[in-house]
Chains A and B, each alone.
Chain A
């Protein structure tokens, strides 16, 4: 039981962390609230399903292809639909919701609403004190943590990371210092959607693929981002594990928990916000006037 809770908490937490950090990046660098973020994660899952089942490509290769493809789709969508209306915050919100809906409907048209599944990369399981933990679960956790470490290196150790962070800090000053703000936003969008693709790739062997699979992660991702503090990567990381574990605790310990898992996680978020309105690690900005 305890091990079950720990593994499922770690998996949920890692996936939420991947999604939330991607979302935080693009929010920080370009002030875009991209509600279509998890829709890209769904598209990546479908690409992997299509490549492995219909084209017979090796799953690992399929995942790489899917991530690249989703990144390209994300950049094209950004160029066509989001970039022209970036200054209108409300319009961006609606455009991204409409984009997510459009992607969901396209997937419904191509693959119908059936629940599909992708075989795991590695079979077999580890037995610890009578609890089975599939190798796939361990692999998912490890890969997710590796990608998170990679993002950390990208942001802290490279010049691109420096540009992204400084644009997030202050767009105007970054622009004055000679960083091409719109190009940084474009690259950040690519990185962000790529991370959504990675999240889809690591989670797809453990979940069912269907066109509505983006809704629940979207809510949880938003909760994580708000809980950790908007734009704070450390906050997103820690918030993701808090809510991931909260979800799995509720599912395993409370009867009818599957219905309540979202509610409990969101209640935690609201409680934290009542005490700390800027989230766990958010910076309380001077009010912008």
Chain B
């Protein structure tokens, strides 16, 4: 393949590479509808400002991206590792408050304060993780619920530092225009979600998965489950902390609302609605539910009621979550080689086994 291109010169080499990329693209992306959807999602999100720069729309999408990181980080800890966390607002709140206080008092700009906030959230993850190591299942879920409430009590008890009910306000902006804010959050969101998806696909991710399925068997295979559980807590804290910092700098306020019980519950609602143990499920769910909530603002009295009813109805018919349900409708798994195929195919695209 390289020989004729040498004759044709530089443009030829470029052409070959382009053709190679196109072949790869056709073979890897266009072959499955779910991959096409993910690709279109990337394209639409990245090129939306070319079409419209409506500040209200951009604002909604920025917040959606921030919460998408949060929901995906919940899925990493609770979906994959099975350590059901009902206090995910703790990481979000710690990230938000730390970056807010650092920004306000130590005058650290957002690019420094957000990572430091995330580090603080990692520490919070370890602090929560250590007492939770011995707990499992429902005990764990209900215990983790306690941590953000404890922190909220402390926030209210020292209003001189934390601002009490009003929170810490007057932070510096993420950037100087709405468009830049949009690109920062969206690129960070796409990047972090890809990283999380890669983590769950790696060897570590498989161990996380195994811990959820059968912790005893994992330990019997000579794997230090304690270390991996703590790793899951700190990774989840890291990503949630980043989203908390982004939120604080975008809203320019870090208030007690970031720690509320309803915040923790909302994260769980997003993730379960979209389908846990998928990473793409929670992200998709946030991109459906958050704009829906904004749209329902036209009927302010019925907003939360409609939200609750939508969730109840969807769960009644798709208890495994919305996106896995859709994916199972449009794709079939090959019974022999476990590779996914588009539902219209008769035979598997790799091993040509008949799909039923």
| Residues of chain A whose beta carbon lies under 8 Å from any beta carbon of chain B | 27, 33, 81, 84-85, 87-88, 90-91, 93-95, 97-99, 101-102, 104-106, 108-109, 215, 218-219, 222-223, 225-226, 230, 256, 259-264, 266-267, 269-270, 273-274, 277-279, 287, 289
Contacts and interface: CB of A to CB of B under 8 A. Distances in A.
Task: For the complex of A and B, list the 7 residue pairs with the smallest distance between their C-beta atoms, beginning with the closest.
Answer: A263-B153, A266-B146, A259-B156, A105-B305, A102-B308, A88-B319, A91-B319
Given A219-B149, A270-B143, A274-B131, A81 B305 contact: no
B350 interface: no
B240 to A, nearest CB: 19
Contacts of B141: 33, 93
B233 interface: no
Interface stretch (B13-21, B63-71, B96-104, B266-274): B266-274
A264 B146 CA distance: 10
A91 B319 CA distance: 6
A85 B316 contact: yes
A258 B85 CA distance: 26
B216 interface: yes
21 contacts: A81-B312, A84-B316, A87-B319, A90-B272, A91-B272, A91-B319, A94-B269, A94-B315, A95-B316, A97-B265, A98-B308, A101-B307, A105-B308, A109-B301, A215-B261, A218-B261, A260-B153, A260-B157, A263-B152, A266-B150, A277-B135
B92 to A, nearest CB: 18
A145 B268 CA distance: 36
Nearest to A258: B156
Contacts of B147: 266
Q: Is the interface of B mostly helix, strand, loop or mixed?
A: helix
Contacts of A289: 214, 216
A105 B262 CA distance: 14
B312 A219 contact: no
Nearest to A103: B308
A117 B307 CA distance: 29
B315 A95 contact: yes
B146 A223 contact: yes
A94 to B, nearest CB: 4
Given A99-B312, A260-B153, A269-B146, A109 B139 contact: no
A266 to B, nearest CB: 4
A262 B265 contact: no
Given A226-B143, A262-B149, A85 B157 contact: no
A287 B216 contact: yes
Interface residues of B, number: 43
Interface string B205-241: 0000000001110000000000000000000000000
A23 to B, nearest CB: 10
A122 to B, nearest CB: 35
Nearest to B153: A263
B35 to A, nearest CB: 26
Contacts of A105: 302, 304-305, 308
B75 to A, nearest CB: 11
A273 B216 contact: no
A259 B319 contact: no
Given A262-B153, A267-B150, A273-B131, A219 B268 contact: no
A91 B139 contact: no
Contacts of A102: 305, 308-309, 312
B119 interface: no
B305 A88 contact: no
Nearest to A282: B139
B316 A277 contact: no
A106 B301 CA distance: 9
A105 B319 CA distance: 24
A27 B131 CA distance: 24
Nearest to B273: A94
Interface in B332-346: none
Given A102-B305, A105-B304, A97 B268 contact: yes
Interface string B306-342: 0111011001100110000000000000000000000
A225 B139 CA distance: 9
A91 B268 CA distance: 10
Contacts of A81: 312, 316
Contacts of A267: 150
Contacts of A277: 134-135, 139
A276 B273 CA distance: 34
B308 A94 contact: no
B292 interface: no
Nearest to A265: B146
A263 B149 contact: yes
B312 A95 contact: yes
A101 B156 contact: no
A88 B320 contact: yes
A98 B319 CA distance: 14
A262 B157 CA distance: 12
B177 to A, nearest CB: 36
Nearest to A250: B153
Contacts of A97: 265, 268-269
A266 B272 contact: no
A106 B153 contact: no
A150 B142 CA distance: 28
Contacts of B134: 273-274, 277
Interface string B163-176: 00000000000000
Nearest to A288: B137
Interface in B101-140: 131, 134-135, 138-139
Given A91-B315, A289-B214, A219 B135 contact: no
Contacts of A261: 153
Contacts of A33: 138, 141
